[in-house]
Amino acid sequence: MAEDLSQQERDLIANLIRDGKPVPARYIPSISDNPLKTELIWPGKSSYVDSSVLPFQSIEHIDEPRKEAVKQYDLFSMSEATGRQVGGWTNKLIWGDNALILSSLVNGPMRDEIKKAGGLKLVYIDPPFDIGADFSMDIEIGDELVTKNPSVIEDVAYRDTWGRGKDSYINMIYPRLRQIRDLLADDGTVVIHSGIQVNHLIRLAAEEIFGNDNVIDEIIWSYGSASGGRAGANKVIKVHEYLLVCAKNRDQFTYNKLYTPYSEKYVNDWFKWKDEDGRTYRKRMRDGGKWDIQYLDESPGVALTTVWSDIQQVYADPRAYKKGMKSELTGYPTQKPEALLERVIKAFSNEGDLVADFFCGSGTTMAAAEKLGRKWIGTDLGRFAIHTSRKRLISIQREASKANLPFRAFEILNIGGYERNSYVGVNLDLGESERLIQSQINRAEFLELILSAYGGQKSDQLPPFSGTKGEQPFLWAQ
């Protein structure tokens, strides 16, 4: 408090305030009712949160043919004539920059649609964390591997993320986490997957955004015991990654207690007895000298801990892995196993909940959510990620249809100018001159839409710039 300050200190503070100079941080608690809190600072940090609202443009509605089943029509309000979903939530696969997608979800009309679906209960994200990676990937075509390099849009995004090292990475992840927290339901949870390169940065950012009390757990995914590690010449072999669990409100988030099976050694060491019916059990002495009997077939197993060592990786090279998880292999280099996402989804959401992945990659989160009866949203900047996810999800629909199981339709959307044919909307049946005129008209309309969304003004006086926002000119890169 102010009475703790000497007269000399009070005079110093008064002079600083009078001259418009900053007061040293050590004096703030003494002159303010608001105590200081720890704050994360880095070059380029900004309190600005994008509030742009861009329209979601529908590219495709996918609802594979169903076998007739009344329970399916009742569950998802299907049209009996076509099998197409005509009511309720439709799952969404969105192509575009997730910064713009999140802003448009938080501030746009789709937020009401999310609320009607029960709110966003779980977000899992696996943002790129391999600093220095070139983000190219090998795709299996026949018996050959072909290297797929990032598109121009992806390349720019990755350069913006990693171009200044860790400063630019946290500049990327920080506002996205703020938007995700805003979008979450009050009882929602976010699980952030990261590696040793950026885990400390993400943890500090999450503590500042969600609050220390709402950072619930840090889970270690230890895949090395089952699948080996990545050999390094001058360092300990890395065999783990991290899952940081944050709740919007610590007292409300969902957690379903899960168990893993006992090891064979544990069973042999502890379940040593059998009753007259042949049932295996163990016995332990309780307080008071009485025996506590537990049957093996009635035991749920070992309660899940913060170290998950029973789930192995999916190999990036499609030719390197021919058994076990081959059925889910997509060839996507950062693909995570469905078992990992199934555990996350089972633990932190309930059947019917809406879950999302804003760095969806090969679509593992959506695949697991679909199989577990959750609604979903998936987004990615990469065209290959969207095509890979689309193919994978259609396959799941077909499998469900063959098994006479319910599933939801999903639609593919985009945002911004990532799919020229979609946003230009040119009728390819027209003649060349008519197509050119329609393209020019639609392009002008789309530019007006972009300018409006960003709060900018069109200008023809600053070529090649498209317009201005305040005093700053900007260019719409087609």
Question: What does the pLDDT look like over 5-40, one tens digit per residue?
Answer: 888 888 888 888 888 888 777 777 777 766 656 777
**Structural tokens at position 372:** 């577990």
Report, in angstroms and rounded to the nearest whole number, the Rg of the chain calculated over CA atoms.
27
- Among 170-174, 237-241, 299-303, 329-333, which stretch is predicted with the lowest mean pLDDT? 329-333
Q: What is the C-alpha to C-alpha distance for residues 317 and 229, in angstroms, rounded to an integer?
A: 15
| Residue pLDDT, tens place only, 312-338 | 888 655 555 545 555 677 667 778 999
Is the per-residue pLDDT at 249 higher than 50? yes
pLDDT confidence of residue 45? 78
Instruction: Give residues with Cβ within 8 angstroms of 41, minimum separation 6.
Output: none
What's the whole-number average pLDDT of the chain? Answer: 78
Instruction: Record the pTM.
Output: 0.73
Is the per-residue pLDDT at 279 higher than 80? yes
pLDDT confidence of residue 72? 38
The pLDDT confidence band at residue 42, using thresholds 50, 70 and 90, is confident
> Between 309 and 153, where is the model more confident?
309
> Between 319 and 243, where is the model more confident?
243
Is the per-residue pLDDT at 232 higher than 60? no
The pLDDT confidence band at residue 79, using thresholds 50, 70 and 90, is very low
Is the per-residue pLDDT at 147 higher than 70? no
pLDDT confidence of residue 190? 98
Q: What is the C-alpha to C-alpha distance for residues 100 and 94, in angstroms, rounded to an integer?
A: 11
Cβ atoms < 10 Å from Cβ of 404: 12
Is the per-residue pLDDT at 383 higher than 80? yes
pLDDT confidence of residue 130? 55
Closest CA relative to residue 5, chosen from 35, 32, 30, 34: 30
Asked if residues 139 and 148 have their Cβ atoms less than 8 Å apart, the reply is: yes
Is the per-residue pLDDT at 181 higher than 90? yes
> Between 432 and 346, where is the model more confident?
346
pLDDT confidence of residue 313? 83
